Amino acid sequence: MTFRILADDAIAVTPELTAIAETLRRVPGSTIQRDDLQGADVLLVRSITQVTEQLLTGSQVTHVGSATAGFDHVDRDYLQQRGIGFSCAPGANANAVVEYVLSVLAARRRLGHVLEGGGIGILGYGHVGRHLAALVTGLGGAVRCWDPWQQVPESIRGESLQQVLCQPVLSLHASLHNEAPWPSCGIIDRESAQACFQGQLVINAARGPLITAEAIDILDEKGVEMVLDVWPEEPRITTQQFAKVALGTPHIAGYSLTAKQTATNMLVASITGKPPATCTQQGAAIDMRGCDTDSASEWLTRLLLANYDPGRDHRLLAACVADTMAPETFEALRTDYPLRRELRGLPVEVDGELPERLQRLCKVLGARPEYTGGG
């Protein structure tokens, strides 16, 4: 069975998607209007498209798929009332986001803290938070996680939100919602920002409104080091706001080729009822030959940044931020983003057999050392 598909042009086109498409039209997600849906029975979007009654009224769409983990941009109640199927891609970009966070830790010289058993607070224990907790624990860090909506293992469960907020590194991975009694929207607000402290590193690679604009000002005043991939009023970013972050990127934490392809194939699977096809990553080996292996943190920092350096994306975004970044400029950065490779599954060239500790760290990250000489 084939379908007439309208898709955001930033969604990856895989062989599996092509195979079910009678027709496949691709348009920018920010411009999708009701008229674009004429003749389509499947709509595939990202978070930039608001899927509402206004958009779908009068269309023949029978299924909406969002190539995202979150779905706050979709009126699912309306879809259910109309009998329109819905699917999303939870977990598709989890490893990409986690590797982004680890690369941020490398760029901000915090990996030593993790490897030496330092504390990391994680807000949210969904696909990304769970994967980050596992990798940080595997690397030797001490995780404290807060998510009252999930069953967090006792070994890493924070005693309170306050305890998690007070960790030297805080990474946000909660879904965005206003559901009582524990809404996540604005979870880092004026009050909770007061719990943060000078020298702390706060990373938001989830949803922009988890941190309020007022909280960003307070965190800056307190000397907190901030890394934002998402923004309170995205796609608008002011020069003043950008100046307060140590690293800022244009909502691309999950933008790996593998994540994009996996998301597409998960949507195809939901439409066809078949298991999703596996995406295999291809790529040249990361050359770590000649690198000093005496310091685990320095070696791991070099490995992570060799694969992905968030400083590059920070500089690209900085060049675009004027008084207020135009929404179309922000979206262009994302649409034209050169999808990066994930470290997981990539070969790593080394001179000889790595020390046991580095072998273990590679195993945790899923990298594959390839010995090119005697050691």
Report the catalytic residues: 207, 234, 251
Contact 15, 266 (CB under 8 A): no
SS (H, E, C) the chain: CCEEEEEECCCCCCHHHHHHEEEEEEECHHHCCHHHHCCCCEEEECCCCCECHHHHCCCCCCEEEECCCCCCCECHHHHHHHCCEEECCCCCCHHHHHHHHHHHHHHCCCHHHHHCCCEEEEECCCHHHHHHHHHHHHHCCEEEEECCCCCCCCCCECCCHHHHHCCCEEEECCCCCCCCCCCCCCCECHHHHCCCCCCCEEEECCCHHHECHHHHHHHHHCCCEEEECCCCCCCCCEHHHHCCCCEECCCCCCCEHHHHHHHHHHHHHHHHCCCCCCCCCCCCCEECCCCCCCCHHHHHHHHHHHHCCHHHHHHHHHHHCCCECCHHHHHHHHHCCCCECCCCCCEEEECCCCCHHHHHHHHHHCCEEEECCCC
Crossing angle for the helix pair 127-139 and 94-107, to the nearest 10 degrees: 50
Which residues, including other chains, have CB under 8 Å from residue 236's CB and lie 6 or more apart?
A: 324, 325, 327, 330
Neighbours of 34 (CB within 10 A): 12
Q: Which two tokens stand for residue 186?
A: 């604005």
